[in-house]
Structure 1
Amino acid sequence: MRIVAIFIFLLLSSNLHAQWFQATATASITDGNIDKARKQAIKKAVKDTLLFSGMSIANLQQLSNSKVIGKQLTLSSNGEIKAIQISSEKQEEQRLTVNIKVDIVPNVQQCIGYQFPKSMVISRFAMNVPEQTVHGQIYNLHKEISRIFFNELSLNPYLFNVRGYIDTPLQLGEKYNDKNLSDSLRSLSVEKDSQFVIYGEVNDLSVNFQADNTDRYFYLTIYLYDAFQGHLVFSKQYRQKAPWKYGITEHVNTNSKQFWESPYGEAIIESLDQANIDIAQKMECIIPRARIIAVDSNKIQINLGRKNGLTVGTMLNLSYSSNFKDQFGIDRSSFSLSEQEMKVTQVHENSAILSTLNDYPLSNIQIDDVALIKPLQ
């Protein structure tokens, strides 16, 4: 597993809206490239600062194409990170430790969907090239990667409501993109009580021991599905090449600190970090959907709750849909034309009870309908 020492301190600021954080992280130095190690360590520290402060991990995209000028880090775009200063750095053997200060100003004009963490589950990734795991005997690498990604997403409860890890193979990905996919996803959404499913496939772990400097490849595809609606939302490929510091017959412990601090282990983490950023950017403004799990007179119960940003007294517009197949077997949705104004009267961890205003009767809402929720403006 990945073990990184991170120390974060909240510093006082004269600006009531700005917060300075101090963080420390380390990265390995490969082929004497201190600049690359510095950027990796800074990115680790900033990521943990964002998680600690409750900001979106998507802000890490500001570090793309950034440059260190003196003790300052240039930022490539506008966002909640306003400044990054390098306080100190220390080189010890093949590790570089940096201490930074990060100035964060929360964005008060966020999209509606940002305030609602989305329910999701993460599935165990598939190993599509098992024959390539022989070198290093890294037969369970895909399982380790899946668990690490599950833990990474779970660290961001302000955006993701991660409800579980599926430790069994699923028929998802490129090979199973057929007409049965929608049915499989909707069944999975009911079984796991979540709107989104994340799945991955490891497609390349090749290594060439004939070269003077042995490099190993890493190629991962990540899929994000909306299981409620039964379709693929996002997929992306992540490719890395990094030095492989192990012998041709050496057994590698992929559950060790040594492996995850090696250049190859850090390259994998870099891919997972970028996938985390991409998913956050894709999801943060999505307005969540909830499954209606109970109907009683003028009240309904939905499968979103406190962990999804709902509180007692929250006023919501609720519109709902039912999914069905037409005579040709094509998936269709029947969406309500009118919106129902409702108030959250009870809230639990992963569910809430909503009542209509003035005890007005409900429209034709049924159990298992899917509700789109929006706060009243």
Structure 2
Amino acid sequence: MKSFLSLAFAGLSVTALLTFSPFTKAQWYESTGHANVQNGDTSAAKSAAIKDAITQALVFSGARVSSVQTLVDGVLMQDQLKISSHGEIQKIELISENKYDNKFAVTLRLDIFSQTEQCPQNSFNKFVAVTQSQLVHREHAKMGQIFDVSKAISKNIFTSLQKSKMSAVPIAYYNNAISVDKYFSQQHDYSNAQLEEISSRSNAQYVLLSQITSLSTSDKLNNDYAFWQDEAYERSYNIEFALFDGTTYEQLWQNSYHTQAIWPFEKTTIVDVNSDRFWQSPYGQSITDINQSVSYDIQAAMACLPTQGKIMHMENSKIVINLGKAHGLKKGQMLSIAHHNYLTDAAGNVMPHTITTLNKIRVEQLYQQTAVAVSIDDKPLPGVQINDVVEIISQNL
């Protein structure tokens, strides 16, 4: 069975964005992809699950891929992936496939030929606060009375990031609505204080903001004279994202996504956006598919970002920092210290400013979210103070 599938998947090819150097190696990865079965179409669900499994493996391996062609059930399918990494798939084996609760799961084993030289930051976890998305046009939620959709979509994005289990670790911060429109304006006159507050309250270095720009519906698709048919409308889903560093307030990534799908509910039906009925509908599934792509894009964008923390407490040569096991720290890890300061430009804008010091510290005691570190020579650290920035500088212990 495996040998047959290996031949069947021989049609899978990966087009790399960069030319491979001789310093590459092959490595086996195992990943499981999931997809919902729509209208009993298990073949389409299987293809979607295979794509999901392949994408997960590529992102996890650090492959820089522009497009993937897969041969599924004898049909050549082309899928454009928005992933930035280096790699090439040599072989795919099907480990298992399973249909359960109207879902399809496929587990694959992939031999990925990737460059050995990857950014060391990818070995450490970066926490990102997933905030509640803002609905720009509330009138778009009138059909179905889906005014709570912002929170439901943000929860769906959080779940997608959580399931990817890569270096970007989501922190739920979507219970309360926040105003985000200024973060997406061309003037960039957003609130640094708000970013810092979100980062501090969630203990997340990075902050993900989003706004839903359209949930508009088209005219009814079916004919009024076809009274025996259920009402059907086409509804759009347009959303924008921006990723910020909660310490430097710098915008690190921004992208927009859009799709449309059938809204299968009657015009006057009130739809619960937290129900399976909504999320298993063609429209809900289209949102999930977009959010899955978003999660992979965010993981790729954050893979090589630094893992930084802050000094929370000091006592002689010992320092308590807000990084721990959950971030990938190990006992003996080396970190640098930078002073956190602010500069004011001619227009009165306050900008963060960090000055890297010569001080180095070593992790001595390790906890889940915090750690105790000491200076490498066990002497007091001159000029170091609470809220100074610490950054991992050594992967090797």
* TM-score between both structures, scaled by the size of structure 2: 0.76
1:298 pairs with one of 317, 320, 325: 317
Larger mean Cα displacement after TM superposition, 271-280 or 296-305: 296-305
Match among 330, 333, 336 for residue 314 of structure 1: 333
Structure 1, residues 163-200: CA drift from partner, whole Å, max 9, x if none? Answer: 43241122324467554522221233223322111122
Equivalence for 1:277 = 296
Kindly indicate whether residue 41 of structure 2 is the aligned counterpart of residue 68 of structure 1: no
| Cross-structure match for 2:20 | none
Which digits, 9 at most, give the CA deviation of each residue in 1:232-268, with x for residues without a partner? 2222111001122222222323223233222211110
Q: Deviations over 1:89-131 (max 9, x none)?
A: 8999xx7957453315596543111111112211111122221
Say whether 1:375 aligns with 2:385.
Answer: no
Structure 1 pair 174–60 and aligned structure 2 pair: CA distance change class (3 A)? farther
Indicate conservation of the 8 Å contact 1:321/1:336, yes or no. yes
CA–CA distance in structure 2, aligned partners of residues 233 and 56 of structure 1: 19
2: CA distance between counterparts of 1:150 and 1:321?
Answer: 30
Find the aligned partners of 2:87 and 2:54 in 1 and give their Cα distance. Answer: 13
**1:293-320 deviation digits (Å, cap 9, x = unpaired):** 1122222221111100111112334444
One-letter amino acid of the structure 2 residue matched with residue 144 of structure 1: A
Amino acid corresponding to residue 305 of structure 1 in structure 2: G
Question: In structure 1, which of residues 81, 85, 101 is the aligned counterpart of residue 108 of structure 2?
Answer: 101
User: Do the aligned residues in 2 keep the contact of 1:38 with 1:96 (CA within 8 Å)?
Assistant: no
8 Å CA contact retained: 1:345, 1:353? yes
1:102 maps to amino acid: R
Partner residue of 1:194 out of 190, 198, 204? 204
Q: Which runs of 5+ in 1 are unaligned?
A: 1-15
CA distance in 2, matches of 1:332, 1:297: 31
- Deviation at residue 280 of structure 1 after TM alignment: 0.8
Give the distance between the partners of 2:155 and 2:61, measured in 1 at CA.
Answer: 21
8 Å CA contact 2:310–2:322 kept in 1: the answer is yes
Alignment match, 1:205: 215
The range that moved more, 192-201 or 210-219, is 210-219
- The CA distance in 2 between the partners of 1:99 and 1:311, in whole Å, is 34
Report the alpha carbon displacement of residue 85 of structure 1 after superposing the two structures with TM. Answer: 4.8
- The residue correspondences of 1:1-377 to structure 2 (distance < 5 A) are 18-19=27-28, 21=30, 23=32, 25-29=34-38, 37-46=45-54, 50=57, 56=59, 62=65, 64-68=67-71, 78-79=86-87, 82-85=90-93, 97=104, 99=106, 101-105=108-112, 109-174=117-182, 178-179=188-189, 181-212=191-222, 214-325=233-344, 328-375=347-394
Cα deviation, residue 39, structure 1:
3.6
Q: Secondary structure at the match of 1:203?
A: strand
Q: In 2, distance between residues paired with 1:214 and 1:188?
A: 38
TM-score, reference length from structure 1: 0.79
Q: For 1:300, what is the secondary structure of its paired residue? A: strand
Contact 1:341-1:357 at 8 Å conserved across structures: yes
Task: Give distance in 2, aligned partners of 1:302 and 1:22.
Answer: 34
Listed one character per residue, the Cα deviations across residues 39-93 of structure 1 (whole Å, up to 9, x for unaligned) are 423234446x65xxxx84586985845332656988988537554456898999x
**Comparing 203-212 with 157-166, which one deviates more in the overlay?**
157-166
Distance change (3 Å), C-alpha of 1:314 and 1:372:
closer
Any idea what SS the aligned residue of 2:377 has?
A: helix
Give CA deviations for 1:3-32 in whole Å, capped at 9, x if unaligned: xxxxxxxxxxxxx974464746444457x9
**Residues 128 and 60 of structure 1, relative CA distance in 2, 3 Å threshold:** farther
- Could you tell me which runs of 5 or more consecutive residues in structure 2 were left unpaired when the two chains were aligned: 1-24, 223-231
The alignment-based identity, stated in percent, is 23
Secondary structure of 1:147's match? Answer: helix
| Distance in structure 2 (CA, Å) of the matches to 1:226 and 1:269 | 26
Tell me how far apart the structure 2 counterparts of residues 193 and 136 of structure 1 sit (CA, whole Å). 36
Which residue type is aligned with residue 172 of structure 2? Answer: G
CA distance in 2, matches of 1:141, 1:104: 40
How far apart, in 1, do the equivalents of 2:337 and 2:183 lie? 36
RMSD: 3.6
Measure, in 2, the Cα distance between the counterparts of 1:289 and 1:163.
16
Please tell me the residue identity of whatever aligns with 1:281: A
State the shift of 1:369 in Å.
Answer: 1.8
Maintained 8 Å contact 1:322/1:370: no
